[in-house]
Structure 1
């Protein structure tokens, strides 16, 4: 895809792709407006939890307030965190691992409902460094999967042929 690899539109709306440049520092704030815990997981990285606190209105107005907590300049690294009910968690990571990485809820039903994001990290670096083995390309071709151009196998921003976005 050449220079177009850095444009998130090239991957199609179904991917929810967010393109990150090599070395870019990304901060995510995940809010939980529900009564369930959400175990959030980021593939390919160890991130830092930098802050957490209240988010939204808890069902019990008489509950004590949840304090906002921040961490030191060098917080612990991890790849999964839990967002408690009616709270938020802020995490930070550096785009230092070129590839395509999922960020999702570990509750399968939530993942299936779309609680997931795709990070396409340093695709310009990845396309220069990665060679896909011919056996994998052959497997895609046997299944009718196009292995070049954009997410639909077309050139440029022509996304004709992508499956419809689920409701």
Structure 2
């Protein structure tokens, strides 16, 4: 009985390693960054929508973190789609329409920079942050609609 259980555990561990994305690959790097961006963005949006308590310092720090994160994933999209990676949600258009993809990446960076600028007005009012945060969310959505396979 113990040998069977041990065999199943070893098999499960071996299979869990198959088909995964190498965290050091370009795909693994960008997926990790996008997950971080999503987490921070959800927290910021949650503060503005009342799902989370609005905490001024946490919002300011989160906006700055999101701004820094938005500048990183684009370098992990090589000029040609990498082969042999795990499942990617990026459409082939990312590599076929690089100019448009870069345009949307720059729009995202601009929207997070504007959000950071909006956090400089003191005292910070949640209502004043709704529009800049919406522009961040809209820039995410625009890129997803064109370049992400759902």
Q: Which of the five TM-score ranges fits, normalised by the shorter chain?
A: under 0.3
User: Taking structure 1 as the reference length, what is the TM-score of the superposition?
Assistant: 0.21
Greater fraction of residues in helix? 2
Bigger relative contact order (CA 8 A; separation at least 6): 1
User: Taking structure 2 as the reference length, what is the TM-score of the superposition?
Assistant: 0.23
Greater fraction of residues in strand? 1
